[in-house]
Amino acid sequence: MLTRRDLLRSATAGAAALAAPSLLRADGPKGFELPKLPYAFDALEPYIDAKTMEIHHDRHHKAYVDNLNKALAGHADWLAKPIVEVVRDYKKLPPELQTPVRNNGGGHLNHTWFWQMMAKSGGAPKGELAKAIDASFGTLDGFKKEFAAAALSQFGSGWAWLVKGKGKPLAITKSANQDSPVTEGMAVLLGVDVWEHAYYLKYQNKRADYVNAWFSVVNWDFVSGLFAAK
Ligand code: MN3
């Protein structure tokens, strides 16, 4: 039987799991922390399988966080920065730290966003975001076609991105490895991970099938929040 204390405890745990980690503040004085997934490993089934989510979050993302903290050990000022600033400004670091911070800082930032960019019931773009998508790509299907083309043409590991555009409201870009558009001064709204670790267990070499399925779990409310914030 559940006591009142048990109920309080589970309510608190639920709230903590739902709370989106802010990328605009530092994780803490000791460095960067692996954020909790905002849903269960199996929440995105059948589009993204539970085993992939578990390995992707608990092993791949954790490794980026651990290696970032290792690279910046002894640089308390950098460990205390918001991750989005670290990735934006990594070229100001000593040369020997730039590559590990570019790769692992980018990995931490990209995945922290990526988990929140997905949800069980993704919904559809609404309001100002829907208007911006139509203005830039004609229709939502027009956006999906262009975004998928970027994701499929990224040779090897990397990401496809929806960013705030220059001229048009929105634009699509792609990056290799864990490079982030924020380093180029762009505002990120949505990204899809096309490293094989993101899909190989379920989709093997069929990246197109993965990207097509992934559209079903895009968290458009979160994308709207990023769009409104910029
Ligand atoms: Mn990944």
Q: With CA atoms as reference, report the closest residue to 52 among 108, 144, 118, 121.
A: 118
Q: Does residue 212 sit within a domain?
A: yes
Give CA 53 to chain center in angstroms: 13
For residue 129, report the distance from its CA to the centre of ligand 1, in Å. Answer: 26
pTM: 0.88
pLDDT at site 147: 98
Q: Does residue 1 sit within a domain?
A: yes
Crossing angle between the packed helical segments 220-229 and 127-137, to the nearest 10 degrees = 90
Total of domains in the chain: 1
CATH number of the domain at 218, please.
3.55.40.20
For residue 197, report the distance from its CA to the centre of ligand 1, in Å. Answer: 6
For residue 56, report the distance from its CA to the centre of ligand 1, in Å. Answer: 6
Q: What share of the chain is helix, strand, coil (3-state, %, to 5)?
A: 55, 10, 35
**Between the CA of residue 169 and those of 66, 133, 136, 141, 228, what are the distances in Å?**
36, 8, 6, 17, 12
Q: Does residue 33 sit within a domain?
A: no
pLDDT at site 64: 98
For residue 188, report the distance from its CA to the centre of ligand 1, in Å. Answer: 16
Both structure tokens of 218: 């895009």
- Count H helices and E strands in the chain, helices first: 11, 3
pLDDT at site 24: 56
**Tens of pLDDT along the chain (230 residues)?**
333 343 333 333 333 333 334 565 666 667 899 999 999 999 999 999 999 999 999 999 999 999 999 999 989 999 999 999 999 999 999 999 999 999 999 999 999 999 999 999 878 999 999 999 999 999 999 999 999 999 999 999 999 999 997 777 899 999 999 999 999 999 999 999 999 999 999 999 999 999 999 999 999 999 999 999 85
Residues around the ion ligand 1 (C-beta < 5 A)? 193, 195
Count of Cβ atoms closer than 10 Å to residue 203 Cβ: 20
Q: Does residue 24 sit within a domain?
A: no
Q: Does residue 76 sit within a domain?
A: yes
Q: Does residue 126 sit within a domain?
A: yes
pLDDT at site 18: 32
For residue 115, report the distance from its CA to the centre of ligand 1, in Å. Answer: 10
Look up the domain containing 167 and give its range: 1-17+48-230
Q: Does residue 202 sit within a domain?
A: yes
User: What is the rounded distance in angstroms from the CA atom of residue 28 to the CA atom of residue 4?
Assistant: 32
pLDDT at site 198: 97
| All residues at 6 or more sequence positions from 77 whose CB lies less than 8 Å from its CB, including other chains | none
pLDDT at site 4: 39
Count of Cβ atoms closer than 10 Å to residue 46 Cβ: 9
User: What is the rounded distance in angstroms from the CA atom of residue 32 to the CA atom of residue 160?
Assistant: 25
* DSSP 8-state assignment for residue 218: B
Helical residues (DSSP H) of the chain, grouped into ranges: 4-18, 50-55, 62-71, 76-79, 83-89, 95-116, 127-137, 140-153, 200-203, 207-214, 220-229
Q: Does residue 165 sit within a domain?
A: yes
For residue 196, report the distance from its CA to the centre of ligand 1, in Å. Answer: 8
pLDDT at site 22: 52
